[in-house]
Amino acid sequence: MGKNRSTDRNGNSRNIMDLRLESELDSEGNIVPMKKNGGYKYVSYECEHILFFSSFQLSISLMFSLYCKIYHLAALNTGLFLTSILHWRKPEMGTRRSIDMFMAFLNLLAHALFSLNTNSLCAFVCTCAVILVATFYFVGKKYSYNSYSTIYHLLIHTVGNASALAMYYIYRKKEIDYA
- Of the two residues 76 and 2, the one the predictor is more confident about is 76
Q: What's the rounded mean pLDDT across residues 72-83?
A: 95
Q: What pLDDT does residue 148 have?
A: 79
C-alpha–C-alpha distance, residues 129 and 108, integer Å: 10
Q: Is the pLDDT of residue 176 over 60?
A: yes
Q: What pLDDT does residue 44 have?
A: 76
Global pTM value: 0.72
List C-alpha distances in Å: 172 to 9, 49, 120.
Answer: 61, 34, 15
C-alpha–C-alpha distance, residues 170 and 73, integer Å: 15
C-alpha–C-alpha distance, residues 113 and 123, integer Å: 9
Structural domain spans, the chain: 8-36, 43-177
At 94, is the secondary structure helix, strand, or coil?
Answer: coil
Grade residue 54 by pLDDT with cuts at 50, 70 and 90: confident
Contacts 24+ apart (CB under 8 A), 69-77: 70/114, 70/168, 70/171, 72/110, 73/110, 73/111, 73/114, 73/164, 73/168, 76/103, 76/106, 76/107, 76/110, 77/107, 77/164
Indicate the range of 5-9, 106-110, 135-139 predicted with least confidence.
5-9
Burial class (CB in 10 A: 0-12, 13-18, 19+), 33: exposed
Q: What's the rounded mean pLDDT across residues 94-114?
A: 93
